[in-house]
């Protein structure tokens, strides 16, 4: 029950901040241009709360459906039944503004989402952030990482000559550079330092990402794994109602062996990460788990549940075993000064904006699977997960979604802000506004595209969650 409320309020707060930021962009610039704003609504549907403010008595409203919002401005083309415009307010109508002002008002919403992302990244870069070093584990067999010669304990120093300091940096640089490779250059240059301190360069082929249409975890597709600490496989916590709990596993059980149900031989388990890796690869597969409990040996039959394509048992390692090994050598504290943090925040916002556009275009051309498209259910899921990880992870996710919202709204699709900007561009070229008939057809076309994308994204979300 606690998880449900955490996920619900984390999603609601994230959505509220992004919607208010977007609509405030429209509202602020409209007011600066002298346009009369009638309503600032957070959400759609039935009004739950409203209040009027300012000299124009603008209505601030909170509505029942929180998936968006809008700013209604005085406009002669959008009068409701029984409404009329006071002649003295006509110069303040949106439709009577010159094209430069209309462009500014419409563009302000998505641009403020991008500005919000920049500010969030700026603040995060100035904080003390503890992160994992980019130390790799033994790669999966017959994978591009194994073919490249990557070894357990290799630390990534640079990707294509660009330095990386954390595992997150490495993951992002790998994604970005891999998305830009072509058929003639399908490998990334990794600068590595092995466990003995020797530095070398390896060529990591990323062709498998294109072959898989970028569907799935890029790290797993390339055979990359995070360095595995030699933690003794002793269970510390069992989640109530989980497969581990139903099977009878208990805290302080030491995992000795895992075998497929009915198999004569199993896999000997020496370290906890081995156990985790095996469970993740065994979703919905019946297993026989041999454990040592006190001075006796027992065999338990358990089937890991499928969670987003990976097996999950609901058992956690004993904290005392983690403390014995210690992971401080694998962690680094990253913090930047005000100016350097601003530069990195600008670069981060720009890179992720460009990456979003590139991946959207590659979806259109068929180079990237449409299964990568996510909707509100997955956003809610990740909002809850990142909120449970702490403020830094949650704010990073908020910045990422803010960029996605800004880029989406700038696409030249009628009904979105980008569609209106397209109309204004045509108006500038032809010297007069597009016809109402043309605009109406565009609105219907844009609505159809948006509806298709929403249904497809929800379909993907349900498939992932189930």
User: Binning pLDDT at 50, 70 and 90, where does residue 79 land?
Assistant: confident
Q: Does some domain include residue 4?
A: no
Q: Does some domain include residue 460?
A: yes
Model confidence pLDDT, tens digit, residues 24-51: 999 999 999 999 999 999 988 899 999 9
Identify whether residues 374 and 398 lie together within a single domain.
yes
Q: Does some domain include residue 299?
A: yes
- pLDDT (0 to 100) of residue 184: 43
- Specify whether 23 is catalytic: yes
Domain boundary among 307, 334, 361: 334
Question: How many folded domains does the chain comprise?
Answer: 3
Identify whether residues 135 and 167 lie together within a single domain.
yes
- pLDDT (0 to 100) of residue 410: 94
Mean pLDDT score, 389-405: 93
Identify whether residues 213 and 286 lie together within a single domain.
no
Domain boundary among 334, 358, 382: 334
Identify whether residues 428 and 380 lie together within a single domain.
yes
Model confidence pLDDT, tens digit, residues 261-312: 888 788 899 888 888 888 988 889 999 999 999 889 999 999 999 876 788 9
Q: Does some domain include residue 191?
A: yes
pLDDT at residue 183 is higher than 50: no
- pLDDT (0 to 100) of residue 85: 83
Would you call 74 exposed, middle or buried from its count of C-beta atoms within 10 A (0-12, 13-18, 19+)?
buried
Identify whether residues 347 and 447 lie together within a single domain.
yes
- pLDDT (0 to 100) of residue 181: 64
23, 83, 257, 308: the active-site residue:
23
Q: Does some domain include residue 91?
A: no
Q: Is 275 left (phi over 0), alpha (psi -120 to 50) or beta?
A: alpha
Q: Does some domain include residue 418?
A: yes
Identify whether residues 346 and 392 lie together within a single domain.
yes
Of 159-173, 321-335, 346-360, which gets the smallest average pLDDT? 321-335
pLDDT at residue 249 is higher than 90: yes
pLDDT at residue 394 is higher than 90: yes
Identify whether residues 300 and 366 lie together within a single domain.
no
Residue 430 has a CB neighbour count (10 Å cut-off) of 9
Identify whether residues 433 and 413 lie together within a single domain.
yes
pLDDT at residue 426 is higher than 70: yes
What are the angstrom distances between the C-alpha of 138 and each of 155, 270, 273? 12, 15, 12
Q: Does some domain include residue 415?
A: yes
Q: Sign (positive/negative) of CA torsion 13, 17, 18, 19? A: positive
User: Binning pLDDT at 50, 70 and 90, where does residue 326 land?
Assistant: low
- pLDDT (0 to 100) of residue 189: 92
Model confidence pLDDT, tens digit, residues 81-127: 667 788 898 999 999 999 999 999 999 999 999 999 999 999 999 98
Identify whether residues 216 and 142 lie together within a single domain.
yes
- pLDDT (0 to 100) of residue 456: 85
Structural domain boundaries, residue 259: 235-320
Q: Which tokens go with 385?
A: 């997960």
Residue 332 has a CB neighbour count (10 Å cut-off) of 15
What are the angstrom distances between the C-alpha of 98 and each of 184, 189, 412, 456? 48, 51, 21, 38
Chain centroid offset of residue 156 CA: 23
Mean pLDDT score, 433-437: 87
- pLDDT (0 to 100) of residue 329: 64
Q: Rounded distance, CA 426 to CA 1, Å?
A: 53
Those residues with Cβ within 8 angstroms of residue 110's Cβ, 6 or more apart along the chain or in another chain: 22, 25, 405, 406, 407, 409, 410, 417, 418
Residues 71 and 37: beta-carbon distance below 8 Å:
yes
Residues 36 and 89: beta-carbon distance below 8 Å:
yes
Domain boundary among 266, 288, 320: 320
Mean pLDDT score, 351-362: 91
Identify whether residues 267 and 307 lie together within a single domain.
yes
Q: Does some domain include residue 105?
A: yes
Identify whether residues 425 and 364 lie together within a single domain.
yes
Mean pLDDT score, 421-446: 90
What are the angstrom distances between the C-alpha of 454 and each of 63, 457, 460? 21, 5, 10
Model confidence pLDDT, tens digit, residues 142-169: 889 999 999 888 999 999 999 998 888 9
User: φ, ψ for residue 215 (rounded to 5)?
Assistant: -95, 120
User: Binning pLDDT at 50, 70 and 90, where does residue 327 land?
Assistant: low
pLDDT at residue 140 is higher than 70: yes
CATH code: domain of residue 264: 2.30.42.10
pLDDT at residue 227 is higher than 60: yes
- pLDDT (0 to 100) of residue 372: 82
pLDDT at residue 198 is higher than 80: yes
Element (H, E) at 353: helix 338-365
Whole-number mean pLDDT of the chain? Answer: 88
Identify whether residues 344 and 435 lie together within a single domain.
yes
């Amino acid at each position: 029950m606690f998880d449900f409320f955490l996920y619900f309020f984390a999603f609601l707060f994230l959505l509220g901040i992004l919607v208010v930021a977007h609509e405030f962009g429209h509202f602020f610039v409209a007011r600066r241009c002298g346009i009369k704003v009638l309503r600032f609504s957070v959400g759609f549907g039935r009004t739950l709360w409203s209040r009027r403010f300012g000299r124009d008595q603008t209505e601030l409203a909170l509505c029942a459906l929180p998936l968006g919002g809008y700013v209604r401005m005085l406009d002669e083309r959008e009068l409701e039944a029984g409404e009329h415009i006071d002649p003295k307010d006509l110069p303040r109508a949106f439709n009577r503004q010159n094209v430069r002002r209309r462009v500014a008002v419409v563009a302000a919403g998505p641009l403020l989402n991008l500005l919000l992302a920049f500010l969030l990244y700026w603040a995060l870069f100035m904080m003390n952030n503890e992160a994992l070093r980019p130390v790799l584990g033994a790669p999966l067999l017959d994978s591009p990482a194994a073919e490249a010669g990557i070894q357990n304990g290799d630390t990534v120093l640079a990707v294509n000559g660009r330095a990386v300091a954390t595992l997150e940096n490495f993951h992002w640089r790998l994604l970005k550079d891999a998305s830009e490779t072509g058929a003639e250059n399908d490998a990334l240059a990794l600068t590595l330092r092995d466990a003995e301190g020797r530095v070398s360069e390896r060529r990591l082929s990323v062709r498998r990402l294109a072959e898989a249409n970028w569907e799935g975890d890029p790290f797993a597709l390339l055979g990359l794994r995070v360095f595995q600490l030699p933690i003794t496989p002793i269970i510390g916590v069992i989640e109530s109602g989980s497969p581990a709990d139903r099977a009878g596993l208990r805290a302080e059980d030491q995992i000795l062996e895992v075998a497929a149900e009915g198999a004569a031989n199993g896999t000997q388990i020496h370290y906890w990460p081995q156990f985790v890796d095996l469970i993740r690869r065994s979703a919905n597969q019946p297993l026989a788990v041999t454990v040592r409990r006190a001075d006796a040996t027992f065999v338990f039959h358990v089937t890991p549940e499928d969670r987003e394509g990976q097996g999950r048992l609901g058992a956690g390692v004993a904290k005392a075993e983690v403390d014995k090994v210690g992971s401080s050598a694998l962690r680094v504290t990253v913090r930047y000064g005000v100016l350097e943090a601003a530069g990195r925040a600008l670069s981060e916002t720009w890179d992720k904006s460009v990456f979003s556009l590139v991946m959207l275009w590659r979806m259109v051309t068929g180079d990237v699977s449409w299964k990568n498209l996510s909707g509100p259910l997955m956003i809610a899921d990740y909002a809850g997960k990142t909120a449970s990880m702490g403020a830094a992870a949650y704010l990073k996710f908020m910045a990422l979604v803010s960029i996605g919202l800004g880029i989406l709204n700038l696409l030249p699709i009628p009904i979105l802000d980008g569609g209106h900007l397209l109309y204004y561009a045509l108006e500038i070229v032809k010297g007069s506004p597009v016809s109402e008939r043309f605009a109406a057809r565009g609105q219907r076309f844009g609505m159809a595209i948006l509806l298709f994308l929403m249904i497809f994204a929800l379909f993907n979300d349900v498939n992932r969650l189930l």
